[in-house]
Structure 1
Amino acid sequence: MSQTVDRALSILPLLARGPADLGQVADELGVHKSTALRLLRTLHEHGLVHRQQDQRYRLGARLFALAQEAVENLDVREIAHPYLAALNERIGHTVHLAVYEEGEVVYIDKVESRYPVRMYSRIGKPVAITVAAVAKLLLADLPEPERRAVAAKLDYPPYTPRSTPNAAAFLKELATVREQGWATDLGGHEESINCVGAPIRGADGRVVAAMSVSAPNVVVTAEELLTLLPQVRRTAEAISREYSGTAPTKDNG
């Protein structure tokens, strides 16, 4: 990277901390004021920096517009799929990816198990929101007033004796999931199916999607499935790094 570009880019995190005048920018960069002014003018021409009436500089509206456009055009499924496939290749079990949209948690990707016993889940199909691990991860990240409002509106079907019975129990479980950073569904939807999941986060730290690994008891016990949790969490973290733009290289582990 050329020295000029490096210096220009160094101005942006400085102004992210608040408006600064020409002297402050020059001091921060360790350059003469004329050099700092030239860099600021270039950034200003591109809308990345704005000069206020008090002659101080702040980040420009164009920078925020670019950031918003970039976020809107991110496809979490496209980014996540190679990682999901790599995890599936290593462990052999079904891997899901889900998002929270319009009051429902929906599967947007699935990599099938290599074992003969298959899951009935389908891409585009809503999950059992009160028991599914991915649903718990997505709802646990909501602000508390929204979590409580959602929990109050839900029905709590008794799929199995291990299903979440009511809103109070659901909120308690969401609080646990929020604190520990992972979730399970151990026979809550189908007694013979267990699941462990982890969140995928954006650059702001908010959960944008959730992934999980599921397997029937005839293939692997709940205890054995839980031993895969570190791999699930590492995969989710790797997807999060790439999705948020903090991963210098792709790491499918």
Structure 2
Amino acid sequence: MSQSLARALDVLDLVSRGVRTLDALAAEVGVHKSTVLRLLQTLEERGFVRRDSGHRYHVGPAVFGLAATALDAQDVRAAASPALRALAAETGQTVHLATYQDGVVSYVDKVESRQPLRMYSRIGLPAPLNATAVGKVLLAGLDEDERRRVVAATPFERFTDRTLTTPESLLDEVRRSAERGWAEDHEEHETFMNCVGAPVYGPDGRVAAAVSVSVPNVVLPYQDVLALVPALLAATARISAELGGSAPVAAPTSTQERTTA
């Protein structure tokens, strides 16, 4: 860990414990006031500390937001765990749980398949918005303005010949995914892998997470992966109920419909 980062974390910890003034913080950390001031200015710019009218420092809103996000993700993971493991056992395939925060979709849980061929994914890693089923599901759960803002900032890295590489194509696919209630990754991130994903709803009726089933195409052909959608939707419905949420009522759409990239 770098010395500056370590000192910044020490300063933040001290502020959280009630050390309020620049002089007191410098004395506790054991460095010159100018060094602590630079650290405080950076923390204040990022919202991790705030300064009141008396030039005393307090924990900032970013800390509470970070804690709330972590708790929310942990709550979703705990609620989803039994259904994820049951879905993996039923299908024999890799199952992911992902959440969204500030333009980033991250994997928060994973149940490995019984297959020897494994995905690159790992808990804590981000999922590309333009090339994963969970990314499309979570984009579909955003308000229209935020969705367009996030898509406009997406780097659109091309992973395979099927990867969506423009904002318009991604927004169209997200819209289709929202209408039918599930999304797909048809060899868009890895040439040998197909995935289907569906939303988990929280008590506020909004999308709280996404669950996906990922299958190597040497194990199941594309159409057979689509046939796993009913089991996936049953699992996400159980998780939503565990969280106190439920999916909105929508007209059923055939899982045999193939989307265009």
Aligned residue in 2 for 1:192 = 192
Q: Counterpart amino acid of 2:157?
A: P
Matches within 5 A, 1:130-145: 130-145=130-145
**1:213 partner amino acid:** V
Q: Which amino acid aligns with 1:165?
A: T
3-state secondary structure, aligned to 2:108: strand
Q: 1:235 to 1:194 in 2, by over 3 A?
A: same
Identity over aligned pairs, percent: 47
Which amino acid in 1 is paired with 2:134? Answer: V
Residue matched to 1:124 = 124
Counterpart of 2:185, as a letter, is D
**How far is 1:73 from its partner?**
9.3
Shift of 1:205: 1.3
Q: Which residue of 2 aligns with 1:88?
A: 88
Q: TM-score, normalised by structure 2?
A: 0.65
Q: What are the superposed Cα offsets for residues 76-119 of structure 1, whole Å, 9 maximum, x if unpaired?
A: 00010111001111110000000002221000000000111111
Q: 2:226 aligned with 1:226, yes or no?
A: yes
CA distance in 2, matches of 1:74, 1:135: 19
Question: Please, what TM-score do these two structures have when normalized by structure 1?
Answer: 0.67
Any gaps of 5 or more consecutive residues in structure 2? 1-67, 247-261
Does the 8 Å CA contact 2:76/2:209 hold for their aligned counterparts? yes
What's the RMSD between the two structures over aligned residues?
1.8
Q: Specify the SS of the correspondent of 2:98.
A: strand
Map 1:1-253 → 2, pairs under 5 A: 75-244=75-244
C-alpha contact 1:74 1:243 (8 A) present in aligned 2: no
Residue 54 of structure 1 is matched in structure 2 by none
Whose radius of gyration is greater, 1 or 2?
Answer: 1
Q: What's the CA shift string for 1:182-234, capped at 9, x where partnerless?
A: 00001001111000011000112100000000011111111111101000001
Return structure 1 stretches of 4+ with deviation > 6 angstroms. none
Letter in 2 for 1:175: R
Gaps of at least 5 residues in structure 1 are 1-67, 247-253
SS at match of 1:75: helix
Distance 1:73 1:127 in 2: 15
- 1:129: how far off? 1.6
